[in-house]
A and B are shown apart, each in its own frame.
Chain A
Amino acid sequence: KQEVTQIPAALSVPEGENLVLNCSFTDSAIYNLQWFRQDPGKGLTSLLLIQSSQREQTSGRLNASLDKSSGRSTLYIAASQPGDSATYLCAPDAYNAGKSTFGDGTTLTVKP
Chain B
Amino acid sequence: KAGVTQTPRYLIKTRGQQVTLSCSPISGHRSVSWYQQTPGQGLQFLFEYFSETQRNKGNFPGRFSGRQFSNSRSEMNVSTLELGDSALYLCASSLEGISYEQYFGPGTRLTVT
Contact = CB atoms under 8 A, between A and B. Distances in A.
Interface of A: 31-32, 34, 36, 41-46, 49, 89, 91, 93, 98-105
B109 to A, nearest CB: 7
B42 A46 contact: no
Contacts of A46: 101-104
A99 B98 contact: yes
A41 B104 CA distance: 13
Nearest to A49: B101
A41 B98 contact: no
Nearest to B90: A43
Contacts of A105: 42
Interface of B: 4, 6, 33, 35, 42-43, 45, 48, 55-56, 58, 88, 90, 92, 98-99, 101-107, 109
Given A41-B88, A44-B90, A104-B42, A98 B98 contact: yes
Q: Which A-B residue pairs are the 6 nearest by beta carbons?
A: A31-B99, A44-B104, A102-B43, A98-B56, A93-B98, A43-B104
Counting chain B CB atoms within 10 Å of each CB, the highest count among A44, A45, A93, A104 belongs to: A44
A34 B98 CA distance: 10
A44 B42 CA distance: 13
Given A99-B58, A99-B98, A105-B42, 12 more contacts: A31-B99, A36-B104, A42-B106, A43-B90, A43-B107, A49-B101, A99-B45, A99-B56, A100-B98, A101-B45, A102-B35, A102-B42
